[in-house]
Amino acid sequence: MAKRASRKRVTAKPKYQFDAIVIGSGPGGEGVAMQLAKAGKKVAIVEKYELVGGGCTHWGTIPSKALRHSVSRLIEYNSNPLFNDSEKAHHLTFEQILSHASSVIRKQTQLRRGFYERNRVTVLHGEASFVDEHTLKINHPDGSVETLTAEQFAIATGSRPYTPKDVDFNHPRVYNSDTILSLNHDPKSIIIYGAGVIGTEYASIFRGMDVKVDLVNMRERLLSFLDAEISDAISYHLWNSGIVIRHNEQYESIEGRDDGVVLNLQSGKKMKADCLLFANGRTGNTDMLNLSAVGLEADGRGQLRVDANYKTSIDNIYAVGDVIGYPSLASAAYNQGRFAGEAMLQGESHSTLVEDIPTGIYTIPEISSVGKTEQELTAQKVPYEVGRAQFKHLARAQIAHSLVGGLKIIFHRETKEVLGIHCFGERASEIVHIGQAIMQQGGSANSIDYFVNTTFNYPTMAEAYRVAAINGLNRLFT
């Protein structure tokens, strides 16, 4: 009797519609999708909004910075006697200035959509929620529901303004940092509650439009994470422009009226203005994802915990951007997305964010810094010295009439290693990158001597590095 041929039992690999689905098309989601698509993976990206780009493009970074640029140019025009020879300064409404931001948003959206098309990433519009670890339900705007499967997922849903329940954000005079972009009247006064990065940026914008601004800060000093000198500089500049800053205040209640808004503070003070911008924190967009279906849980701020490879506690689900917290920057989110994509492909990422991430605050003038502050180094007992350059002494600044602010270099007084760069003034967020590049070299290449020994174009704002370096080195003695 012939023996029957033995057959090996083969377990079929589960088939999914996509190798990966990315939820959210902001910088983080785009970084993941591009990394996977360029590696030949079949990728889909789900965006709740009708256009790609995420909050960064439509409500946050792009529109606010475009607004800031337009207002800054308006201030420059009105203050420059070469252009403004009339007795009355030129005035534009918020709605008029917003038209420039709309143009930038449109161009950015078209650009990002092109990335997905060229890399054959499927773009789906709708609200996503998990069914299980490999299944996603999408509620489309037309009311239809679609179920998709994937081997891996990346959560990049971003964040939204924190909106406490005791504040009526449906009132037409009460705004958050998203809805302020729909402001269609011309306020004479505004209260900004929250003096963090967003609050101070919008305070500059509105004051530049000649709107009376009250800025309410919950802390003892403005932007207290900055080097104290820079914090003092922006505080003085805002005060000098006419902004009233109130420190150590908390709201008791906010009353929306037909003719404006009344802010009642816990200290007993009352304030009234045409409208109010509530800019006190943000919340991760995770509450709509049905995370419990996959065994995930966000913290009280809607954020997810991830490991060094941006993987959550569920092996096939990753998260990047605002939903994982610090540093909550568009620039960092894109890199996080790329690194997470690498981990999704290879099991781990061989890249990490730079240790010293630059901070850019788009007030008028700008603030930017990278590395340590004087306060941090003093607490750590690090022997340092400081070199300073004031922009008003630079030929390029005099030509451009950008005389406010300066550059500050903090360096180790023994090794001359550059430890921190702090800049306040026009184009600060660009100028800081020169110092950042030297700091990233490490070892003996990271030395303040570089700024003295190299040759800068003249006249440029970059010359501030040479001036500051010489100033600092002249303070050394043995």
Residue 196 labelled as part of a binding site = yes
Residue 28 labelled as part of a binding site = no
Rounded to 5°, the CA angle 294-300-303 comes to: 55
Residue 200 labelled as part of a binding site = yes
The partner residues of 389 in beta bridges, in order of sequence, read 407
Residue 194 labelled as part of a binding site = yes
Residue 55 labelled as part of a binding site = yes
Residue 199 labelled as part of a binding site = yes
Map tokens 């941006």 to a residue: 310
Residue 51 labelled as part of a binding site = yes
The partner residues of 216 in beta bridges, in order of sequence, read 193, 246
Instruction: Report CA-CA distances (Å) from 141 to 146, 289, 454.
Output: 11, 16, 57
Residue 48 labelled as part of a binding site = yes
Q: Measuring CA to CA, which residue among 473, 243, 335 is closest to residue 465?
A: 473
Residue 349 labelled as part of a binding site = no
Residue 195 labelled as part of a binding site = yes
Residues 6+ apart with CB under 8 A from 466: 451, 452, 454, 456
| HEC sequence for 307-354 | CCCCECCCCCEEECHHHHCCCCCHHHHHHHHHHHHHHHHHCCCCCCCC
Residue 198 labelled as part of a binding site = yes
Residue 13 labelled as part of a binding site = no
Residue 159 labelled as part of a binding site = yes
Residue 450 labelled as part of a binding site = no
- Cβ pair 387, 409 in contact under 8 A: yes
Alpha-helical (H) ranges within 155-208 are 197-208
Cα–Cα distance for residue pair 424/422, rounded to 1 Å:
7
Residue 300 labelled as part of a binding site = no
Cα–Cα distance for residue pair 368/334, rounded to 1 Å:
20
Cα–Cα distance for residue pair 27/34, rounded to 1 Å:
10
Tell me the binding residues for FAD: 47-56, 65, 157-159, 322
Tell me the binding residues for NAD(+): 194-201, 281
Tell me the binding residues: 47-56, 65, 157-159, 194-201, 281, 322
